[in-house]
Amino acid sequence: MAETKWLIAGLGNPGRKYEQTWHNSGYQVIDLLSQRHQAPVDRIRYRSLTATARIGGTSCLLLKPLTYMNLSGEAIREALRYNEIEADHCLVIYDDIDLPVGKIRIRRSGGTGTHNGMRSILDALQHTDFPRIRIGIGPKPERWDLADYVLSHVAPDMEVTWRESLVRAADAVDTIVKESLDAAISRCQA
């Protein structure tokens, strides 16, 4: 029996100016997983920064697309095809303005909402049947442009809560890979 592999993609934008922004929440979770599983995300493949991590004995490709958010789907499709990973083993982690800061939601499938990175992935894969972890960043402040908000740096008074949600998202990834999506939904969602 072939080993089950996972692609774990954290959405974000490359470059120092985006490092601590709301929109790079997915990248931040990949960085946590990289540290936790001693798998430096420093190899460039599939137009992404990548690493192979072993989580509970399972081979997982950690992926941070370098295509910028709006073209994330191209990098993810390329990595899935090359590694012969089915879409139901492609776990996507991203920020969500429809959830309050500190909340995470785990879903088996779904739509794009207002997220252009997710829209790119759905366009590239041509279906919605892949799991995802949404990290709440809260709604944009009144009179703010949406792009300005998601690309802004995390407010100091929200940083601890945001970072706690990133850790819970990384815990959820571990639970999904080691146990099941249902186990993560029941234990890690907050």
Residue 1 buriedness (CB in 10 A; 0-12 / 13-18 / 19+): exposed
Q: Which residue has the tokens 């997982």?
A: 60
Exposure pattern of 143-167 as b/e (b: 16+ CB <10 Å)?
Answer: eeeeeebbbbebeeeeeeebeebbe
Residue 134: strand, helix, or coil: strand
Can 89 be counted among the known catalytic residues?
Answer: no
**Tokens describing residue 72:** 């994330």
- Strand intervals (E) in 20-158: 43-45, 48-55, 58-65, 90-96, 104-107, 132-136
Query: How far apart, in whole angstroms, are the C-alpha atoms of residue 183 and residue 180?
Result: 5
Q: Report, as residue numbers or ranges, the catalytic residues.
A: 23
